[in-house]
Chain A
Amino acid sequence: MAILDRSASPEDINSVVEAWLDQHWDSEKRCAKGEDSYDEKAWLTKVFEAGFCVPSWPTEYYGLGLSQKQSGIIEKAFAKRKAQGSARDRFHLGAITVFKVGSEELKRAMLPVMLTGPICCLLYSEPNAGSDLAGVRTKAIPDGDDFIITGQKIWTSNAQEAEYGMLLTRTDWDVPKHRGITFFLFPMKQDGVEVKPINQITGESEFNEVFITEARVPASHIIGNLNEGWTSFQTAIAYERLIMGQGITERRGKSKADSEPQLITLARKYEKYDDPTVRQKIAQALAYRELNGLNMQRAKQEIMTNGSSSLMSLGKLAMSRVQHGEAAIATDLLGNAALLDGDDYPDAVNINFDAAKAYMNSIGGGTDQIQKNIIAERVLNLPKEPDLDRDVAFRDVKSS
């Protein structure tokens, strides 16, 4: 069997991974060979021990020291058999952040736990700290070797399943907002943590509120340094945006180019496809979607040659126009039919769902307006607007 390191050829890597999966994974039953059902912890532990969880990390940190390209071969082999656990160096945001900015002690203690468990939830936003995330008010008060946490978080996905969350807290109220924040790896499964699902306008409940009342976290679980949480957080958020951006291009890659767009199908069905005004609107909507795809292809190309691309930041903003625009056209195509709801009216249900869901893109992960500020400041180098709270002690900052 070939040794997996930087010098391994793509064929060698592929044959090693395939052989390993043949030996350990039952593609039919979708669980480990010899088992009857999928045991996540046990399976992830196997993957972790083989180094396939985080192949691009160095061997002393549970990886194989491979390049991104080599790691991609492992990811593909796992995906082909629908086996979980690979590419956690690309998608396990909590583990990536601890690996990048955590202390040696935290890495040793927590990376094996995190990599063999569910992904972390993100305890960032609060009812009064949304777009202005550095205004968090969740308190962390030192108590012996621990901190005691009290506060409320919101818009948390996976809060029920997560064993750990990445938590933004306020530890110093007497300095300007960015300088009194501490970032923790916070244990979710304890008294004092209450998770309540949020009912969304789409009818779904993907997000939760998390109420934290005098819960504890060890001081050793600080990610980075005390009161320097904003800096550590920048690493986490940068990876999150990267993952979201990659998601856009990868999802596009999978979509079938030859299937008829939904707008055309609806226009035919509601007998409006011959209307030249409707055709103009549909053509422009399809064009916006196609143009965003072309922009993201260029972004990918630029990332491959230069390591980064400012085009990436446009994808989310452009997608808002696509989604809200398509939902509006579809609603008009249905006419009165869009007023209805229920199982007998699937078109209305779908269209009204899409119209509501479009806000997920235009608000989630930073509103379009915040995204425009970011594009203007970071891509176009336009000067920052003066902040009223920049040099003010956080306890004196005005809030709603």
Chain B
Amino acid sequence: MSQISDEDRQALRDGFSRYLEAEADQEKLRAGIASDRGYDNSIWQQMAEMGLLGIAISEDFDGVGGGATDVALVMEEVGRKLVPVPFASTCVVAAEMIARFVPDPIKQDLLQKIAAGQLTVSIGGTGDFVSLSDDGHSLSAELSGDSWVMNGQVSFVSHAGVADYHLLGLKEDGVDSAYLVTASDAVSAERLSTNDPAQRLFTLNFSDAEAIKLEDMDAEGINQVRMRGVAAVAAEQAGATRAIFDITMEYLRTRYQFGRPIGSFQAIKHMAADLLVEVESGTSAALAAAKALDSGSSSAEKFVSLAAFTCKDAFRTVSAQAIQMHGGIAYTEEHIAHLYWRRARAGLSLFGSSDEHREHYLKSREAA
């Protein structure tokens, strides 16, 4: 349940939205993507300042004690501007995993640092909480004396190049385990070349890297973390879908051909009206998932899956049609449309495909 009042939530959102409107324009987005870090660190620090990085972290650890709805509002705004910050991985999934499964002095230290913007965590390996699973990893954790050491290789680890910790899932025979590894000389990161330039993926190599094993990982707890990760990504996609849709509508009102705005042609209008249904359905689904999580509803499982495939598919369709509706101008690299389209495609396999979530949605309707 969220500790944030409706008024405060609205103020938080408005403040963040205004800030991004002023500071996260296309030029800065592209500069951030081209930088070593892959995103604009000043935005990350401002998010810390505004309390957003600790939105899902308890007040006991310097967070603000928000719920899934609060996370969704942040993610929608992040999505609108395509800001490629590691929020979902660090501030949602890692923060939830640490809060649940890491014992106290370390937990407190890590969560406080996350909330303060002093620490990011990349996530990889296998397990339901891992957004991009790598079934081909060769990771192994072994006890050496009193402590664990990690060896082997894993790919598809997002933002691992600048992360301070790596959270690694090792699901074996249906049993989850997870380890936290500090970035050190014992870990090397090699960047993968990606279709979406904003998606920073790495292969990590570990050689006797010291690790902290997470404790008492129960299936229900992991599933809660998974659902919160899925809901956060869905909200990000819902926000991005609406943004590229709005950009496209503005173009339709101002681009003239045959002596009239192209938005006056019915062929275009009908596409636009159909896409609006997708945009609004994405928003509604993301919101419903967050609310179900916050209320502890037994339908959370169903609504989270509904949000997952609705938002993935809506973002894919709307961003693809946005290029079509713009015509030639959006076939150029300078135009922003393809960045939305690439992000939509990059999101298709996060936490499983649309088809998998559709199947899961049907199953959870049967179970309800």
**A, B: real partners:** yes
State the A residues within 8 Å of B (CB). 258, 261, 264, 276, 279-280, 282-284, 286-287, 290-292, 294-295, 297-298, 311, 314, 317-318, 321, 369, 371-373, 375-377, 379-386
Q: Which of B277, B288, B310: most chain A Cβ within 10 A?
A: B277
Q: Which residues of B contact A279 (CB under 8 A)?
A: 358-359, 362
**Is A372 touching B365 in the complex (CB atoms < 8 A)?**
no
- Say whether B335 faces chain A, with CB atoms less than 8 Å apart: no
CB-CB contacts of B238-276 with A at 8 A, as 1s and 0s? 000000000001001100000011011110111011101
29 contacts between A and B (CB under 8 A): A276-B359, A279-B362, A280-B359, A283-B358, A286-B362, A287-B309, A287-B310, A291-B284, A291-B285, A291-B306, A291-B310, A297-B284, A298-B284, A318-B277, A369-B270, A371-B273, A372-B269, A372-B272, A372-B274, A373-B266, A373-B270, A373-B273, A380-B269, A380-B272, A381-B249, A382-B253, A382-B261, A382-B263, A385-B264
- Say whether B280 faces chain A, with CB atoms less than 8 Å apart: yes
For A373, the closest partner residue in chain B by CB is B269
Tell me if A's interface is mostly helix, strand, loop or mixed: helix
- Say whether B281 faces chain A, with CB atoms less than 8 Å apart: yes
Cα-based distance from A41 to B236 in the complex (angstroms): 58
Tell me if B's interface is mostly helix, strand, loop or mixed: helix
CB-CB contacts of B325-368 with A at 8 A, as 1s and 0s? 00000000000000000000000000000010011011001101
In-complex Cβ contact of B270 among A282, A292, A372 (8 A): A372
**Is A385 touching B266 in the complex (CB atoms < 8 A)?**
yes
**Is A382 touching B285 in the complex (CB atoms < 8 A)?**
no
Q: Which of A290, A295, A318: most chain B Cβ within 10 A?
A: A290
For B314, the closest partner residue in chain A by CB is A291
Q: Which residues of B contact A385 (CB under 8 A)?
A: 264-266, 269
- Say whether B287 faces chain A, with CB atoms less than 8 Å apart: yes
Q: A294-B287, A295-B284, A382-B272 are in contact. List 7 more A-B contacts (CB 8 A).
A: A276-B359, A282-B362, A295-B280, A369-B270, A380-B269, A382-B263, A383-B253
Q: Which residues of B contact A264 (CB under 8 A)?
A: 366
Q: Which residues of B contact A376 (CB under 8 A)?
A: 263, 269-270, 272-273
Q: Which residues of A contact B280 (CB under 8 A)?
A: 295, 298, 311, 314
Q: Which residues of B contact A284 (CB under 8 A)?
A: 358
Q: Which residues of B contact A292 (CB under 8 A)?
A: 281
List 6 tightest A-B contacts by C-beta distance, closest first. A376-B269, A372-B273, A382-B263, A294-B284, A375-B273, A283-B358
Which B268-313 residues have C-beta < 8 A from chain A?
Answer: 268-270, 272-274, 276-277, 280-281, 283-285, 287-288, 306, 309-310
**Is A287 touching B306 in the complex (CB atoms < 8 A)?**
yes
User: How distant is A367 from chain B, measured CB to nearest CB, in Å?
Assistant: 11
Cα-based distance from A314 to B355 in the complex (angstroms): 25
**Is A291 touching B273 in the complex (CB atoms < 8 A)?**
no
For A288, the closest partner residue in chain B by CB is B281
In-complex Cβ contact of B249 among A294, A373, A382 (8 A): A382
**Is A290 touching B306 in the complex (CB atoms < 8 A)?**
yes
Given the contacts A287-B358, A291-B284, A291-B285, A380 and B276 also touching, CB distance less than 8 Å = yes
Cα-based distance from A290 to B307 in the complex (angstroms): 11
